[in-house]
Amino acid sequence: MATTPAPTAEQPMDDDARRLAELGYKQELRRKWSGFSNFAISFSIISILAGCFTTFGQAWNNGGPVAISWGWPLISMFILIIGFCLAELVSA
């Protein structure tokens, strides 16, 4: 039978932590992103290649110059908001 580690005064052990300890795991949550993780998540969300080429073609064929001149700046603002949200997550 596995022994469970004794709870400390700072961290009392709850049922979840006790069960994880029985299985041989430590309850932890890593709150750190590496530079590569940040780049990979940002690149996946922004999707530069799929976004630029497909939306440019669709905008040109379906809306013409008006769709490009109004649509791209508007969408760029939304993408910037996503970038700001990711920056806030990384800074936390």
Query: Domain limits of the chain?
Result: 1-30, 32-91
Q: List the chain pLDDT tens, one digit each, 92 residues.
A: 455 555 555 566 788 888 888 999 888 877 787 888 888 887 777 776 666 677 777 778 888 888 778 887 888 888 889 888 888 887 76
Q: What is the pLDDT of residue 8?
A: 56
Place of tokens 């709850």: 14
Which two three-digit tokens encode residue 36? 């590569």
User: What pLDDT does residue 45 have?
Assistant: 76
First to last CA, the chain: 40
pLDDT at 29: 77
pLDDT at 92: 67
